[in-house]
Every structure is written in C-alpha cells, then in structure tokens.
Chain A
Amino acid sequence: SQTIHQWPATLVQPVGSPLSLECTVEGTSNPNLYWYRQAAGRGLQLLFYSVGIGQISSEVPQNLSASRPQDRQFILSSKKLLLSDSGFYLCAWSQGAYGYGYTFGSGTRLTVV
C-alpha cells in the first residue's frame, strides 16, 4: 500500500532563517506531488505541483521554492522566511489520473517568529 511521509510535524523558525520541508511517498512510482499551505481559518492554497523528477509548477509567486530530486521525494524550501509564511504545510500525492483524488501527508505546522 502507498504511504506518504512528511516531516517535521512542527517547526518554529525566526524571521529570515531558511526552511526545508521534506515529503516522501512509498509504494508507488511516478506520483504527482503537491505542496499546499493552509493559513489559520483559510482554505487550502496550492503552492507547487510536480508531475515528474525536476518538473515543478508554481501556482502563486511567493517566498518559497520546491524541488523534486527523486521520483518520490518533494522538498519545499525558503532562503529567508517571512512572518507571512506561517501556516500548516501539507504535502499530497495522486495517481496522476482523473478521478482518484489526493492523499495528504500529516502536515507541518510552521510558526515564523
């Protein structure tokens, strides 16, 4: 069966510090991968998605970047965090075919102080 791992679960970082969040998927190959952010009281905002190694699409311009160095690994990064980067970050994967929906990781709660 497929599983998705996301870490760390919580993170408190000072403004201006770098960020690296990692997500890995097991039990499948060539998944579509997604990074979402959910700010307090708000909906899910798609940040990045990837359909293959090295292929990254950005949905919104921001202080973040994403990379996919391996088939089942997706990394969200920032060189300098802003207060507005605080939120609940969720990684998700899908089969890459219509009708299957997404499976989410357990999420990382980031607080920038």
Chain B
Amino acid sequence: QKEVEQNSGPLSVPEGAIASLNCTYSDRGSQSFFWYRQYSGKSPELIMSIYSNGDKEDGRFTAQLNKASQYVSLLIRDSQPSDSATYLCAVEQGGSEKLVFGKGTKLTVNP
C-alpha cells in the first residue's frame, strides 16, 4: 500500500513568518510530487509541482524534494492570513499517473 504521510496539524504561524509543511512517502518509484491548497468547503487547487531533487521556487512558495529520504516539503514565506487552508501533499505512483494524497496539514496564519 503506497502511503503519503503528513502532520495533520493544525500548524499556526504569525503573519509574515515562514510556514513549513512536510510530507513523507513510501513509494521509491515515485517521480512527480504536488502540493494542493484546499480552503474550507472548497476543492483542492494545485499550487506547486516538483520532479527533481532540490528546491523549486514560485513567488512566496518553495517546494523541496529529497528522493533519497523520500521527503517533500513546502515553505511559505511571508505568510498571509489568506494562506490559511489545508495543504495536501500528492505523490504520483511509480509506473502510473495515479496520485496518492496525504490527509493534509491545516495551516492557520494569525494576523
């Protein structure tokens, strides 16, 4: 059973701080990794994808991947109250394009 693990939180950070969200996965054959943001009552929205070891930056968001450690993270710099949401880590199963989702980490950014 392929698994994706995330701390359920809630993670609470003050406005302007860096929020760090972590994810581990079990399938060593996975090659593609995604972060989704889900506001309460809404559907998940894709915000970041990463395929190679290292960092990938997009505005205030940085995704980090370490395939040897089977670890993916998302950093949100200068956190804003509008970043308050549940963040889902998704990992593409090796040999297919089916995604396995973690249960999500709820982030609250306090003004």
Contact = CB atoms under 8 A, between A and B. Distances in A.
Given A42-B103, A43-B101, A90 B44 contact: yes
A34 B46 CA distance: 16
A65 to B, nearest CB: 20
Given A104-B44, A105-B43, A32 B104 contact: no
A107 B32 contact: no
State the 8 A-B residue pairs at the shortest beta-carbon distance, nearest first.
Answer: A43-B103, A104-B43, A44-B101, A99-B32, A107-B43, A101-B34, A101-B46, A98-B97
Nearest to A32: B97
Nearest to A46: B98
Say whether chain A's binding surface is mostly helix, strand, loop, or mixed: loop
Contacts of A90: 43-44
Contact of B42 (A49, A99, A101, A107): A107
Interface of A: 32, 42-44, 46, 49, 90, 94-107, 109
Given A32-B97, A101-B32, A43 B102 contact: yes
A44 B4 CA distance: 11
Contacts, number: 48
Interface residues of B, number: 21
24 contacts: A32-B97, A43-B88, A43-B101, A44-B88, A46-B98, A90-B44, A94-B97, A96-B97, A97-B97, A98-B31, A98-B32, A98-B92, A99-B31, A99-B92, A99-B97, A101-B34, A101-B46, A101-B49, A101-B90, A102-B90, A102-B99, A104-B43, A106-B43, A109-B41
A102 B45 CA distance: 9
Contacts of B51: 99
A109 to B, nearest CB: 8
Contacts of B97: 32, 94-100
B43 A101 contact: no
Among B42, B43, B51, chain A packs the most CB atoms within 10 A around the CB of B43
